[in-house]
């Protein structure tokens, strides 16, 4: 009888340890968002325009990616860098080097590829999020012959706590 009681006690304490470990908070992932470039696809529209479709993966330990429409004051005011939360930097290859270029639609209009991703909500205690975001860049006008033929993009995001993600770089894209 004593032996059976000991086994039951060891068995019960084993279950308590397992139960306690499963209730403790698991190590949290980083609150700084991490992104990966999953794909980039060029879509050609004849000789005048090229567009690019991107898919990036994201992961954020505290789940604070995205902005709501009402996020327009304080750090998120329209003149702040944090007003948008997804940025795409554009580079052209001139000679043997890539140079950052501010894209333009015409001689007087400049374009900034910056977007406001909506809030990605989570349910439950674990706020960690992971998923993919798809977006496109339209109407890149090919240059005159001999000017440049290769481009690339660098992409990063900010979360609501103003953490900047890592920067992912596209492969070198040769314009057709």
**3-state SS record for 54-108:** EEEEEEECCCCECECCCCCCHHHCCCCHHHCCEEEEEEEEECCEEEEECCECCCC
10-14, 82-86, 93-97, 133-137, range with the lowest pLDDT: 10-14
Does residue 34 fall inside a structural domain? yes
Instruction: Output the pLDDT for position 13.
Output: 35
Range of the domain at 66: 28-174
For the domain that residue 138 is a member of, what is the CATH number? 2.60.40
How far apart (Å, rounded) are the C-alpha atoms in residues 133 and 163?
A: 18
Does residue 144 fall inside a structural domain? yes
Question: Hunting for tokens 């953490």 — which residue is that?
Answer: 163
Taking only the tens place, the pLDDT of each residue in 127-176 is 889 999 998 877 666 666 667 678 889 999 999 999 999 999 999 987 65
Taking only the tens place, the pLDDT of each residue in 14-28 is 333 333 333 333 345
Does residue 43 fall inside a structural domain? yes
| 3-state SS, residue 150 | strand
Does residue 117 fall inside a structural domain? yes
Contact 54, 126 (CB under 8 A): no
**Strands 168-169, 150-157: pairing kind:** antiparallel
Report the pLDDT averaged over residues 20-49: 70
Say what the pTM is. 0.74
* Residue that wins the pLDDT comparison between 38 and 112: 38
Does residue 161 fall inside a structural domain? yes
Does residue 2 fall inside a structural domain? no
**Total of domains in the chain:** 1
CB count within 10 Å of CB 54 equals 20
Does residue 14 fall inside a structural domain? no
* Residue that wins the pLDDT comparison between 103 and 96: 96
Does residue 10 fall inside a structural domain? no
């Amino acid at each position: 009888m004593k032996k059976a009681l000991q086994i039951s006690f060891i068995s019960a304490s084993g279950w308590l340890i397992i139960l306690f470990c499963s209730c403790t908070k698991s190590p949290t992932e980083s609150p700084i968002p991490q992104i990966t470039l999953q794909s980039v696809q060029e879509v050609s529209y004849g000789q005048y325009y090229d567009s690019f479709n991107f898919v990036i993966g994201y992961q954020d330990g505290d789940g604070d990616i995205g902005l709501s429409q009402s996020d327009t004051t304080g750090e998120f005011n329209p003149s702040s860098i944090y007003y948008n939360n997804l940025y795409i930097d554009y580079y052209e290859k001139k000679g043997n080097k890539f140079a950052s270029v501010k894209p333009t639609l015409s001689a007087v209009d400049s374009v900034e590829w910056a977007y406001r991703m909506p809030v990605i909500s989570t349910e439950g205690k674990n706020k960690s999020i992971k998923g993919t975001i798809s977006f496109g860049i339209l109407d890149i006008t090919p240059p005159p012959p001999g000017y440049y033929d290769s481009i690339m993009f660098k992409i990063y995001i900010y979360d609501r706590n103003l953490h900047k993600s890592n920067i992912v770089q596209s492969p070198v894209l040769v314009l057709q």
